[in-house]
A and B are shown apart, each in its own frame.
Chain A
């Protein structure tokens, strides 16, 4: 009826690809440092969705099994750590330069 029955790994990969590309374009176009961080979160989430899809027993007969879910959990924890560090860097930048525009962060330019 909806046209995608049965739901397969490919459909999950499409959603993951859209999330990945959206995040990558977000990282490239946003001028606010926190907007760039949100792009990173979208990219990580898209990759995580692919791990879950390949580990699911409902989408394929021969699935990745539990490893997909375990790796997805590690990715979630590492994303949390990454967000904490990147936010600390952004706040430090904001305190020192009174701006959050990534185009202004040109002190390290050679």
Chain B
């Protein structure tokens, strides 16, 4: 540890650069490959690398959820969709060059707009003067997130009286319940919609 500190090397910037380049590079690979199977694989790598950025920003619980729900769940679902529809004529579908030019011009303009906006606010640009001074106990957020979902904000116990943090309405208990019921309804509906239907004409043969 002391050996590493002696070099005075900014590991935060190094790992940020590493994960950022992986994330952006594989996202561009998703865009520029026309093979649907490779797109799915590059998407997994891009989202996995962005989980590294989440860890780097101190959101270790969200980073773990990104890996488990997104990479482990949503993308497996997408890959099942790819496998179920991967007939040879759908694996590689070329886009016409006119559409490429149009989309890249519009995308470039949008990217230019967003990049100028990202560096416009001084408070966003300067960064934390001394990130090493953030306490280790302050950085452990899993308990605080769990308490926040049950309606108690342990990270804002010292909020002044009469602020917007009204007792009983400050946490995320109601959105948490709503989103869980929403997920249940959506999964039931998706299973209902995606089930194999028997064609009326082939009912006598297939049944």
Contacts and interface: CB of A to CB of B under 8 A. Distances in A.
Task: Report if A and B associate in a common complex.
Answer: yes
Given A84-B77, A91-B84, A99-B90, A42 B193 contact: no
A38 B141 contact: no
Contacts of A94: 84-85
Interface string A26-68: 1011111011011001100100110011011111111001101
Contacts of A87: 77-78, 80-81, 190, 194
B59 A24 contact: no
B186 A84 contact: yes
Interface residues on B, range: 35 or more
Given A29-B103, A49-B53, A85-B186, A90 B90 contact: no
A69 B78 contact: no
Given A41-B74, A61-B128, A13 B118 contact: yes
A6 interface: yes
The interface residues of chain B, by DSSP majority, are classed as helix
Given A76-B66, A78-B179, A83-B77, A66 B186 contact: no
A24 B124 CA distance: 25
Contacts of B118: 10, 13-14, 17
B24 A18 contact: yes
A101 B134 contact: no
B10 A2 contact: yes
Given A38-B78, A87-B190, A25 B179 contact: no
Contacts of A80: 69-70, 73-74, 183
B21 to A, nearest CB: 9
Contact of A79 (B28, B50, B70, B139): B70
A108 interface: no
A6 B124 contact: no
Interface in B1-44: 9-10, 12-14, 16-17, 20, 23-24, 27-28, 30-31, 36, 39-40, 43
B169 interface: no
Interface of B: 9-10, 12-14, 16-17, 20, 23-24, 27-28, 30-31, 36, 39-40, 43, 46-47, 50, 53-54, 56-59, 61-62, 65-66, 69-70, 73-75, 77-78, 80-82, 84-85, 90, 93-95, 99-100, 103-104, 106-107, 110-111, 114-115, 117-119, 123-129, 131, 134, 138-139, 141, 144-145, 148-149, 153, 155-156, 172, 175, 179, 182-183, 186-187, 189-191, 193-194, 196-197
